[in-house]
Structure 1
Amino acid sequence: MAGAYLIGIVFMLISLFVSWRLKSKFKEYSQIGLASNLSGKEIAEKMLRDNGIYDVRVVSVEGTLTDHYNPADKTVNLSPEVYHGRSAAAAAVSAHECGHAVQHATAYTMLKFRSSMVPVLSVASQYMQWIILAGILLLNTTPIPLAIGVVLFALTTLFSFITLPVEFDASRRALAWIDQKGVVTSREHTMAKDALWWAAMTYVVAALGSLATLLYYASLLMGRRD
């Protein structure tokens, strides 16, 4: 397990740096008011209407950077700083979450694929680590538990990588819309793009960390077979 812990520590440090960078960028861009003076809530509602979506509500939720789109109850959930904010950061985040709502409304293929994996992964995640631990302990006796664990971990890794195009596409839609509709100036657009890039990097690091761990477990399994 030492190798897995080392991989975990390396990617945890990278993740902490990216998270710190995202928060610092968000804080910086939150202090710069939009020329349009639109709030995150107003931007979200406008983007939804412009895309012909009238059955999605924009609501405020507690926390910082807790923004997300919930397809189950069709709500765009914005943190207070984004919901009430009138900044480049608020514009970027609110439009990004609406990008997910547009994906849902247009049956975006990768989002559908990702959503279809959620029920399986919610069950697998409860037992995966225990199965992998048992597999490592029993490796000299039988490779079967570890093989099962590797398959389950491969599913979570696949989920992480499927998440990437979903997130990048939502940002692409968001940036295109706020630019086209004149929600932001060219300078504000650059800040919004930068904020979304760092947000996307959190998903990239998570996916790469998952892949590195998967390869480690797979190498243990292949070593046993050799």
Structure 2
Amino acid sequence: MFYFPFDSYYFILVIPAILLSMWAQSKVQSTFSRYQRMRAASGLTGCDVARRILDENGLYDVRVERIAGSLTDHYDPGARVVRLSESVWGSGSVAALGVAAHETGHAVQHAQHYAPLTIRNAVIPVTNFGAKLSMPLLMIGLLLGYPSLVSLGILAFSLVTFFQLITLPVEFNASSRAMRTLVDGHILRDEQEIDGTRRVLSAAALTYVAALIVSAAQLLRLILLFGRRHRD
């Protein structure tokens, strides 16, 4: 993060947002660990659930692969692969089934051309470019006294916030699909299992909300700083 001397906005806006993000990360880790100990009565593993959901939606060409780590699960739309972490792949816990169904939900979104996912995937290259360019533009604009460059830097950074914003409906929808599939398919068989999976997915959703808040706080900080310096 680009730091300005005597930048009170950083302490007022950004630090609380970062603390919230840290709490959200801790929450998802602790919730996953708790419900990783609860085995689902179906006897299915995360890999089994992912494969079943894909096949039920006609996505026979989408592979399910195992990757190292914990909570490194994701769907790769370019390779058309659902990658499940070691803690999810072979686990029959309600936590693992929820994560597997969530990530597989992204594959279904992709196949059905779910609009928010399509928009998010389309803006990824622009967002990455804006994230890399924003701080150099801000620094050069401030050092050389070019307000237009500062404004351009802030605009470039706003793309990151937009990406975080469009990510929310994508993730919420994937979790909603996951719960509906697990319940309707009788993969989760009682209220205790359903509640445990829902808690895991809700905790994961908090991390995306926190990421948006961090990005929005940073963007607001830059806008306020530029406005103050422009007035000065």
TM range (shorter): over 0.9
Matches within 5 A, 1:145-156: 145-156=149-160
- Give the TM-score normalised by structure 1: 0.94
Conserved 8 A contact 1:59-1:78: yes
Matches of 1:13 and 1:49, distance apart in 2? 41
Conserved 8 A contact 2:133-2:156: no
1:29 pairs with 35, 41, 48, which one?
A: 35
Q: Figure out how many residues of one structure are paired with residues of the other and give that number.
A: 224
Aligned-residue offset at 1:225: 4.5
Conserved 8 A contact 2:45-2:89: yes
Aligned-residue offset at 1:122: 2.0
Aligned-residue offset at 1:51: 1.4
Q: Is 1:17 matched with 2:27?
A: no
Matches of 1:120 and 1:4, distance apart in 2? 27
Q: Is 1:144 matched with 2:156?
A: no
C-alpha root-mean-square deviation of aligned residues, in Å? 1.4
1:72 pairs with 63, 73, 78, which one?
A: 78
Equivalent residue number for residue 158 of structure 1 = 162
Matches of 1:25 and 1:118, distance apart in 2? 30
Aligned-residue offset at 1:5: 3.4
- Tell me which amino acid in the other structure corresponds to 2:167: T
Matches of 1:28 and 1:10, distance apart in 2? 27
Counterpart of 2:65 in 1: which secondary structure? strand
Q: Structure 1 vs Structure 2: percent identity of aligned residues?
A: 38
Equivalent residue number for residue 66 of structure 2 = 60
Worse-superposed segment, 90-99 or 204-213: 204-213
Aligned-residue offset at 1:223: 3.4
Q: Is 1:40 matched with 2:23?
A: no
Distance 1:4 1:77, change over 3 A: farther
Equivalent residue number for residue 198 of structure 2 = 193
Equivalent residue number for residue 114 of structure 1 = 120
Unpaired runs of 5+ residues, structure 1, are: none
Unpaired runs of 5+ residues, structure 2, are: none
- Tell me which amino acid in the other structure corresponds to 1:205: A
Matches of 2:113 and 2:156, distance apart in 1? 27
- Give the TM-score normalised by structure 2: 0.92
Matches of 1:127 and 1:103, distance apart in 2? 31
Matches of 1:142 and 1:127, distance apart in 2? 16
Deviations 1:166-219 (A, max 9, x none): 000000000000000000122111111110111011010110111111112112
